[in-house]
Structure 1
Amino acid sequence: MNLPNSVTVKEVGPRDGLQNEKQFIQTEDKIDWINMLSETGLSYIEITSFVNPKWIPQLADAVQVAKSIKRKKDITYAALVPNERGLQAALEVNIDEVAVFMSASETHNRKNINKSISETYIVLKPVIEQALSAGKSVRGYISTVFGCPYEGEISIDAVLSVSDQLFSLGIQELSLGDTIGVANPKQVEEVLTKVLDRFPREKIAMHFHNTRGTALANVLVSLNLGITKFDSSLGGLGGCPYAKGASGNLATDDLHYMLDQMGIHTGIDQEKLIQAAIFIEEKLGKPLPSHTMQTKRSLCNS
């Protein structure tokens, strides 16, 4: 296998992990959790989303969270930003990186953003331009790359079309999302091969869900194709609120275990990662689904 020496793990738990949780996590607990994540060796944490609180009440405290965390200079603190209004709030609290998002599926895009794909470009263009002008890096997410809960299989041409548009608008990195966790290794190889024929691999990240237990297998295929950036959520927390059955992001603790055992450097301290997982698990009042946490609970009970 053609494996990289190091990988960047992008922790999205405080945003993607929490956004679908019905039980509100107290603001001070979110702040404490992000501070714990900052001590694990992670170099990237997506801390919140500046969306309208009526759409995602869990993240209504975005400004307070962003203002209150203890930032470390070697960590990028990012946030999801849907529009110019959200961008202004993100800039006011000095977010390091702005992430914009849309779908490769027309139906999912309308469900998620309440706009067509073509209408979404018009909204995102000034967001990207203003963020870049403010000296912020900009990342783009594409949802439903490997399948849509409404349209089923999504063509690679649709994915490439949205990717082209986002890069032309100025994004510097693109995260390809398996929103409902349907991707398999063969499909990932086919899609990535075509994506990498058009875009530099250093500008591509992968965002897998473990809904059907294939996330790590998909990571392995991606690694072999030279991808070195992966989104994950501690403990496997999270899922898409607009995609029924899309449970469980790829778990940061499971991803780190595999990479570490394969000799691929991440800079992450697994024990500190577990401590942070235990903390948020207690605040949620339910067990996290990652294999690492299941194993830990099993060993503690034996």
Structure 2
Amino acid sequence: MKLPSSVTLCEVGLRDGLQNEKEQLPTQKKLELLGGLIDAGFRVIEVGSFMNPNAVPQMADTDEIYRLIGDVQGVELRALIPNLRGVQRAADCGCKKVKLNVSASRQHNLKNLNMTPEESVAGFASCVQAAESHGIEISGSISMPFASPWEGRIPQEEVDAIIQAYLKVGITEISLSDASGMAVPNQVFDMCAHVREVYPQISWWLHFHNTRGLAMANILAAMEAGMTQFDSSFGGLGGCPFVPGAAGNISTEDVLHMCEESGIDTGIDIVKVIALSRQLRQLLGHDTDSYILRAGRSRDLIQTSND
């Protein structure tokens, strides 16, 4: 297998994970978890989102978290934004990196926003200009680029049209986000190989939900195609409220374990992440979707047997 020697992981549990929880974690607990993730070695963390607090109350304290954590040397603390108002909130609280999102499902985008995906991205131009004026970096993401519950598989040319729309407004960092959990490895390999070849100027991220147990296989397929930047969620926390049967993101500790056993460097301490995931599970009061929390690391079993 043509696997990379190292990869970068973005921890998204504090945003994509906690936003789906019924109970809201206190701000101080979020800060403790964030500090633990930084200590574990993460250099990219999605802290929260600047969505309408009435719509996503779990993220209502994102501004406060940024004010309290301040700048952390060598760590990118990013947040999801919906619009120009999100850029202003980011500027006001000291957030230095934001991410926009559009759905590759035309039906979903039309139903929710009454716009095509390309029209949505074209409307992001003001966000890009505002972010630049405040010294804020900005990236984009494409939800359901592989398939959606409404259209099934998304044609590559439709994904390309969205990518080109992002490039037109000046965004050169894009995440392909399998929010529906419908992607399969050969499709992931083909799309990743295509976009790397056609759009070499773009920095790519991959975001896989483990809805049907294929997220790890999809990560490996993306690695085979040359991708090296991936989102993950500690404890496997998360979901997608508008997708039927959606499950959480691939568990961070599961990805770390696979990388550790495969000789792929991440720069992250898996033991510290496992401890944080266990702490998170206790805070939430329910189990989460993580193989490593259930079974432990392979090397721990070997060490125990040798003892």
**TM-score after normalising by structure 1:** 0.93
Distance 2:202 2:116 in 1: 29
Please report how far the alpha carbon of residue 47 of structure 1 lies from its aligned counterpart in structure 2 after TM superposition: 0.2
* Residues 103 and 142, structure 1, Cα contact 8 Å, conserved in 2: yes
Query: 1:246-287, CA deviations, whole angstroms, 9 ceiling, x for partnerless residues?
Result: 111011111111111111111000111112111211111111
* Residues 102 and 113, structure 1, Cα contact 8 Å, conserved in 2: no
| Between 199-208 and 58-67, the greater mean CA deviation after superposition | 199-208
AA at the equivalent of 2:221: V
| Between 107-116 and 199-208, the greater mean CA deviation after superposition | 107-116
Please report how far the alpha carbon of residue 110 of structure 1 lies from its aligned counterpart in structure 2 after TM superposition: 4.1
| Between 135-144 and 188-197, the greater mean CA deviation after superposition | 188-197
Mind listing any 5+ residue stretches in structure 1 that lack a counterpart? none
Which residue of structure 1 aligns with residue 67 of structure 2? 67
Distance 1:161 1:247 in 2: 28
Which residue of structure 2 aligns with residue 233 of structure 1? 233
Answering whether residue 167 of structure 2 is matched by residue 167 of structure 1, we say yes
* Residues 36 and 276, structure 1, Cα contact 8 Å, conserved in 2: yes
Distance 2:237 2:149 in 1: 20
Distance 2:102 2:175 in 1: 11
Query: 1:46-67, CA deviations, whole angstroms, 9 ceiling, x for partnerless residues?
Result: 0000010122111111111221
Distance 1:202 1:220 in 2: 20
Which residue of structure 1 aligns with residue 221 of structure 2? 221
Change (3 A) 1:268 1:157: same
Alignment of 1:134-213 (within 5 A): 134-200=134-200, 203-213=203-213
CA-based RMSD of the aligned residues comes to 1.9
AA at the equivalent of 2:29: D
Distance 2:201 2:170 in 1: 17
* Residues 122 and 166, structure 2, Cα contact 8 Å, conserved in 1: no
Which residue of structure 2 aligns with residue 109 of structure 1? 109
AA at the equivalent of 1:221: A
Please report how far the alpha carbon of residue 15 of structure 1 lies from its aligned counterpart in structure 2 after TM superposition: 0.6
Q: Secondary structure at the match of 1:19?
A: helix
Please report how far the alpha carbon of residue 101 of structure 1 lies from its aligned counterpart in structure 2 after TM superposition: 0.5
Which residue of structure 2 aligns with residue 120 of structure 1? 120
AA at the equivalent of 2:164: D
Distance 2:275 2:170 in 1: 38
* Residues 178 and 207, structure 2, Cα contact 8 Å, conserved in 1: yes
Distance 2:10 2:102 in 1: 19
**TM-score after normalising by structure 2:** 0.92
Q: Percent identity?
A: 40
Please report how far the alpha carbon of residue 115 of structure 1 lies from its aligned counterpart in structure 2 after TM superposition: 4.5
Query: 1:91-133, CA deviations, whole angstroms, 9 ceiling, x for partnerless residues?
Result: 1111121111111112222455564424422431111122123
Which residue of structure 1 aligns with residue 304 of structure 2? none
Which residue of structure 2 aligns with residue 56 of structure 1? 56
Distance 1:254 1:205 in 2: 18
* Residues 202 and 228, structure 1, Cα contact 8 Å, conserved in 2: no
Distance 1:35 1:114 in 2: 40
Please report how far the alpha carbon of residue 159 of structure 1 lies from its aligned counterpart in structure 2 after TM superposition: 0.8
* Residues 178 and 208, structure 2, Cα contact 8 Å, conserved in 1: yes
AA at the equivalent of 2:152: G
Distance 1:18 1:156 in 2: 32
Distance 1:201 1:255 in 2: 27
Distance 1:256 1:201 in 2: 28
Alignment of 1:32-43 (within 5 A): 32-43=32-43
Distance 2:173 2:71 in 1: 22
Which residue of structure 2 aligns with residue 94 of structure 1? 94
Aligned residue pairs total: 298
Alignment of 1:241-252 (within 5 A): 241-252=241-252
Which residue of structure 1 aligns with residue 265 of structure 2? 265
AA at the equivalent of 1:52: N
Change (3 A) 1:262 1:112: farther
Mind listing any 5+ residue stretches in structure 2 that lack a counterpart? 301-307
Distance 1:282 1:288 in 2: 10
Please report how far the alpha carbon of residue 218 of structure 1 lies from its aligned counterpart in structure 2 after TM superposition: 0.9
* Residues 20 and 239, structure 2, Cα contact 8 Å, conserved in 1: yes
* Residues 201 and 227, structure 1, Cα contact 8 Å, conserved in 2: no
